[in-house]
Amino acid sequence: PTHQLWGGRFSGQPHEALQALNNSLPYDARLYSDDLDASKAYAEALKRAGYLNSADCDVIVKSLELIRFDWVERSIKFLPSDEDVHTVNERLLVNITGELGQRLHTGRSRNDQVITDMKLWMRKANRETLGRLRLLIEACVLQAEQHLGILMPGYTHMQRAQTVQFSHWLLSHAFALREDCLRLVELRERSNVMPLGSGALAGNPLGIDRLWLAERLGFSGVTANSMHAVGDRDFVVDFIYCCSLVSLHLSRLAEDLILYSTQEFDFIKLADGFATGSSLMPQKRNPDSLELIRGISGLITSNLTGIMMTIKGTPSTYNKDLQFDKQYCFQAHDKLAQSLDVAVGVVSTMQVQRHQMEAALSTDMLATDWAYYLVRKGVPFRMAHHYIGRVVALAEQRGVGITEVPLGELQQICEAFGADIVSVADYGLNVQQYNVVGGTATVCVLEQLRQLKDFCMGL
Ligand code: ARG
């Protein structure tokens, strides 16, 4: 008999061009373990429904374990007729158990089988991704904690804006990653619903206890509509979206760090392990690690558009187009994992250049604080903003800093200026004024650190 699962009504094998396109083993083989887990549970469900006796069920379950061993040992040889991981596992089972193995697929379709496998796989992938995110948040927290109190120019539009703490800046990236974690946790809970028992599309007519199966496989519930279940890949889109967003966050962090590691900025220095040299210019130290992180986000995000384009226009229930979901999903996951590993390495080993950051502060960055000084003297903010603007223009004209404009001249611009304006010249003190929740004052940055640490502990 043919190894093909569906050979009965066919007179020959599929054309080899079709076999080549149809063969998903190169990318779905990694589902072997989830496929075996789901099959073991399904065999037990068949026993409970009266379609397998206890002894036969035991033989199937033990044989599936033997097959797992062969996968681990890499001793499985694929045949040209093997279409996908499900076909291989079933062929191997029939090799071991003969006619008995042919009973396992009773009432089941690869349509409900493959998404059950995918969901089992994704549960692990989700946890793994969360683990990596946690490591990166912790690396940010550690650097922020060790370098608390270091000042740096904060930028908007890449223009010097206001003084902030280095830790405040670094944690701004960590908080984006925290949101990513929350998204993954939410997705894990929402998608942990079992499709098995949906059959090809109509459901299962053999009295399979889906609730029991779901519990056995660690799902928190069962899908409510079999036709929806077999055609649904939204959970894959969601996962790839989560991966894409993480990759964009890593890309933005990388962009900041690339800039800050230039000789012109010199705010941070990459460790040797995360920098590379030039084959031509002996002096070069290139931030390839960060450029790769920035670049790979394009590839990861392309998987999101890829899967969405694949789903678009497919009619209801299962269609073979959906087989490609795995390539997008696995690539997004794998590339993100590599990217996260590098990001953790970069952040935890980078050297923070306190002197260079603080030397980059300039008195124009006090302008906003000067406006607040006038506000505290009773000047309406819009007016204060205007007066300080004039001070900045005057100082610029003379080629000096605003702190060098004599008090008399300041008072000509606005009479609310007093001798105490000199107290608004200290960058460090200015930073401490921003003590609102979320601000850059030390108490607030400490609170951010606490929140992130708590979050990581609870993850
Ligand atoms: N390898 C297939 C996939 O990943 C399994 C489902 C095949 N179903 C079918 N009716 N051909 O989508």
Name the residue with the closest Cα to ligand 1, atom 12.
323
- Within the chain, all domains assigned CATH 1.10.40.30 are found at 363-458
Yes or no: say if 240 and 303 are a contact pair by the CB < 8 Å rule: yes
What is the pLDDT at residue 1?
A: 44
Pocket-testing residue among 19, 114, 198, ligand 1, by greatest number of atoms within 8 A of Cβ: 114
Mean pLDDT for the stretch of residues 9-36? 92
Query: What's the mean pLDDT in 25-37?
Result: 97
- pLDDT interval class at 31 (50, 70, 90): very high
Residue positions annotated with a catalytic role: 157, 278
Helices marked H in 261-324 — which ranges?
A: 288-311
Residue 108 CA to residue 86 CA, distance in Å, equals 12
Kindly report the protein residue whose alpha carbon is nearest to atom 4 of ligand 1. 323
In angstroms, what is the span from residue 243 Cα to ligand 1's centroid?
Answer: 24
Whole-number Å distance, alpha carbon 32 to ligand 1 midpoint, is 14
Q: Give ligand 1 pocket residues (Cβ under 6 A).
A: 24, 28, 84, 110-111, 114, 318, 320, 322-323
Quick one: CA dihedral 79, 82, 84, 88, positive or negative? negative
Coil vs helix vs strand at 277: coil
- Ligand 1, atom 2: closest residue by C-alpha: 323
Could you tell me where in the chain the CATH 1.10.275.10 domains are found?
7-106
**Mean pLDDT, residues 309-332:** 98
ipTM comes to 0.96
Q: Which CATH number fits domain 7-106: 1.20.1050.10, 1.10.150.120, 1.10.275.10, 1.10.760.10?
A: 1.10.275.10
**Residue 37 C-alpha to ligand 1 middle, in angstroms?**
18
Q: Please determine, for residue 315, whether its predicted confidence score (pLDDT) is greater than 90.
A: yes
**Which pLDDT score is estimated for 248?**
98
Residue whose C-alpha is closest to residue 424's, from 361, 350, 373: 373
Token pair of 299 as six digits:
């590839």
Q: How far separated are the first and last CA of the chain, in Å rounded? A: 51
Q: Which CATH number fits domain 111-359: 3.90.1150.10, 1.20.200.10, 3.40.1010.10, 3.40.50.2000?
A: 1.20.200.10
Nearest CA to ligand 1 atom 7: 110
Residue 28's pLDDT is: 97
Percent of the chain with pLDDT over 90: 93
Ranges of CATH 1.20.200.10 domains, the chain: 111-359
Share of the chain above pLDDT 70, in %: 99
Phi, psi of 80 (to 5 degrees): -60, -25
Instruction: Report pLDDT digits (tens) over 95-124.
Output: 999 999 999 999 999 999 999 999 999 999
Q: Which atom of ligand 1 is nearest to the CA of 84?
A: 1
DSSP string, 187-252: HHHHH-EE-TT-TTTT--SS---HHHHHHHTT-SEE-S-HHHHHH--HHHHHHHHHHHHHHHHHHH
Q: What is the pLDDT of residue 4?
A: 63
Q: Tell me which residue has its CA closest to atom 3 in ligand 1.
A: 323
Could you give phi then psi for residue 160, rounded to 5 degrees?
A: -55, 130
In this model, does residue 373 exceed pLDDT 60? Answer: yes
**Model's pTM, two decimal places?**
0.95
- Burial of 385-396, coded b for 16+ CB within 10 Å and e otherwise, reads bebbeebbebbe
pLDDT in tens, 415-439: 999 999 988 989 999 999 999 999 9
Residue that wins the pLDDT comparison between 268 and 282: 268
State the chain's mean pLDDT as an integer. 96
Give me the mean pLDDT over the 272-291 stretch.
Answer: 91
Mutate to test the pocket of ligand 1, among 25, 28, 323 (most ligand atoms within 8 A of CB): 323
pLDDT given for residue 282 in this prediction: 85
Report pLDDT digits (tens) over 134-184.
Answer: 999 999 999 999 999 999 999 999 999 999 999 999 999 999 999 999 999
Task: Tell me the two tokens of residue 365.
Answer: 């960055």
Q: Scan for tokens 């291989």, then name that residue.
A: 88
Mean pLDDT confidence for 33-52: 98
Query: Could you report the per-residue pLDDT of 222-258, keeping only the tens digit for each?
Result: 999 999 999 999 999 999 999 999 999 999 999 999 9
200 Cα–ligand 1 center, Å: 10
In this predicted structure, what is the pLDDT of residue 3?
53
CATH superfamily name and code, 363-458: Fumarase/aspartase (C-terminal domain) (1.10.40.30)
Higher pLDDT: 130 or 16? It is 130
Write the pLDDT tens digit of every residue in 173-219: 999 999 999 999 999 999 999 999 999 999 999 999 999 999 999 99
